Structure 1
Amino acid sequence: MGDRMVALVTGCAKGGIGHEYCKALAERNCRVFASDIPRRMKDMLELESSHGVEALELDVTSDESVVSAIEGIISKYGRIDVLINNAGIGSVGPLAELPLEAIRKAWEINTLGQLRLVQKVVPHMAARRSGNIVNVGSVVGTVPTPWGGSYCSSKAAVHAMTDALRLELRPFGINVIKVVPGAIRSNFGSATTEKLGAHGWSLYRPFAEAIAERGRASQGAKSTDAATFARHVVSKVLSPRPPRQIVFGHMTGLFAVLTWSPLWVRDLFFSNRFGLNRKL
């Protein structure tokens, strides 16, 4: 097998950031496993043919699926050096009306899905006293926005979980890296907007367009290209001393300012941005 690192990436549908992580890892001579749910396996064909990436069925909400995928990699190559917990879904809508089922699904995939992978891969990494675990959060996990409370809270939990894991896994030689993307151009925004059609707001019907605008917010003309973002993250993760945190992408500067701003400043900014500066 030589010295080639073995990497597993979750959520690798074509058009998404995970797809680009796989390309960037393959370009750095890693053995890459691109994974996603069964109905998206056809999206891996390009990665297999153009970059030598191996496709793998993996549902992050299923213990059995996760165990099967990880054990399959271990049996073939003996180790997993890099895990990128990229799988995630958007969740947009007012928290007072968004169905709990939708919120639960976002948490199950975005948060518990990451922890499920961590718990299954850590014993293998700990046995070798090495490994890099990359958990993908979001700028809105630090500064939540209206109409995105479900998604924001799932990513805030990822941030807290990652900060704890970073210290807890240090004695075993495992690096835990928190990735905080800004606005990255991918299919994520369009997929999130499509889900809005399933919801008929009651109290918030007058805000329907503002809610839809929140769903599109990360996909503006100035958003960072997904390939550029992925290459930046991979270069940091594969460096001799990976950083604790990688913050990169359009609007990260704005959110850094908002992080340190008084709450009334944040409230004023987001109220104007997302149509909440009026009373009904």
Structure 2
Amino acid sequence: MSDKKIVLVTGCAKGGIGYEYCKAFAEQNCHVVASDISQRMDDLLELQEQQIETLELDVLSDISVSSAVKAIILKHGKIDVLINNAGIGSTGPLAELSLDEIKKAYEINTLGQLRMVQHVMPSMASRRSGVIVNVGSVVGKVPTPWAGSYCASKAAVHSISHTLRLELKPFGVNVVLVIPGAIRSSLGSHNTGSLSHYDWKLYKDFSDAIAERARASQVGKSTDASLFARHVVNKVLSPKPPKQIVFGHMTSLFAILSFSPLWVRDLFFTKRFGVDKKV
């Protein structure tokens, strides 16, 4: 069994935060296993050049997750840290966005994380050691217009993480909830690209506002993904990992909004995302 910490990261395609997590953990002398779905494995080739192991893993599949986790434990004897990073954006008005799209966000962003936990926990429990890091979002606490399905999927991650933190404590496993603000990554371009499939009917007059929400986290002073990843990794590898890591552009604003009266929050988002347009 390796003396190095074995770290499994999901959702590691180039351009995303997961890719940067892998590099940041490797810099801390951890043995990193970077994973993603088969269609994106080419994105991980440069990580291999940095002595980072790569592995195909689909968080939607019990078979894929089970196979990947067993392979890592067979090879390395353990998994010390699981970074539940795999996720997708989901943009569009809830009254018109297809239920299939909403379901997909839940299945990847929420159930995908829980599936990973259920497959990794037996090994961690047997060793009475481990850290599980679930990636939420500031919008999991303060939801915004035009991204309700994404916000709800991340709110569920928050609830699950707070429950797991208590339920896994008897086994010596720490649960850390990461709450990113606006982090510069490929998420914005993916969000914008997915909108091309939609021809809004009720909300056709709001198309520009919806597109603005899709790229909102990627404009202005968004935090660099590598800076964000290093901050998270340093906290996760500390002797006593924190229960929550809140970091990134706009986290202070969302903290204020979370304590504000609903009319203040509604007024802010109405103006920010063009919900005040008359139809």
TM-score, normalised by the number of residues in structure 2: 0.99
SS of the equivalent of 2:215 reads helix
- 1:83 aligned partner, one-letter code: L
- After TM superposition, list the pairs within 5 Å mapping 1:95-244 onto structure 2: 95-244=94-243
Q: Which runs of 5+ in 1 are unaligned?
A: none
Partner of 1:67: 66
> Counterpart of 1:139 in structure 2: which amino acid?
V
Structure 1 residue 62: Cα displacement:
0.2
In 2: Cα distance, 1:230 partner to 1:253 partner: 19
**Whole-Å separation in 2 of the counterparts to 1:276 and 1:2:** 54
Query: What value does the CA root-mean-square deviation take over the aligned residues?
Result: 0.6
Q: CA–CA distance in 2 between the matches of 1:216 and 1:202?
A: 21
1:223-273 CA-partner distances (Å, limit 9, x unpaired):
000000000000000000000000000000000000000000000000000
CA distance in 2, matches of 1:2, 1:23: 19
Q: Distance in 2 between matches of 1:268 and 1:260?
A: 14
Partner of 1:83: 82
Could you tell me which residue of structure 2 aligns to residue 41 of structure 1?
A: 41
The aligned residue for residue 266 of structure 2 is 267
Cα distance in 1 for partners of 2:277, 2:40 equals: 42
Runs of 4+ in 1 over 2 A off after TM superposition: none
Q: CA deviation at 1:3?
A: 1.7
Give the drift of 1:279: 2.4
C-alpha deviation, 1:2, in angstroms = 4.2
- The answer for the alignment partner of 2:276 in structure 1 is 277
Residue 17 (1) aligns with residue 17 (2): yes
Query: How big is the shift at 1:277?
Result: 1.4
Query: What whole-Å deviation, never above 9, does each CA across 1:108-164 have from its counterpart, x for those lacking one?
Result: 000000000000000100000000000000000000000000000000000000000
Aligned to 1:93, the other structure's residue is in SS state: coil
Aligned to 1:28: 28
Q: What is the alpha-carbon distance in structure 2 between the residues aligned to residue 112 and residue 2 of structure 1?
A: 30
Letter in 2 for 1:17: I
**SS state of the match for residue 59, structure 1?**
coil
2:16 maps to amino acid:
G
Aligned equivalents of 1:60, 1:255: Cα separation in 2: 29
Structure 2 distance, partners of 1:86, 1:2, is 24
Q: Which amino acid aligns with 1:7?
A: V
**Which amino acid in structure 2 is aligned with residue 38 of structure 1?**
S
Give 3-state SS (helix, strand or coil) of 1:180's partner: strand
Amino acid at match of 2:31: R
Query: Is the contact between residue 11 and residue 36 of structure 2 (CA under 8 Å) also seen in structure 1?
Result: yes
Q: Deviations over 1:37-83 (max 9, x none)?
A: 0010011110110x210010000000000000000000001000000
Question: 1:29 corresponds to which letter in structure 2?
Answer: N
Please, which runs of 5 or more residues in structure 2 have no aligned partner? Answer: none
Secondary structure at the residue paired with 1:153? helix
- Indicate if the aligned counterparts of 2:2 and 2:76 stay in contact, CA closer than 8 A: no
SS at match of 1:96: coil
The one-letter code sitting in structure 1 at the alignment partner of 2:252 is: G
Give 2:3's aligned residue. Answer: 3
Q: Distance in 2 between matches of 1:256 and 1:228?
A: 21
Residue identity (%): 69
Structure 1 position 180, deviation (Å): 0.1
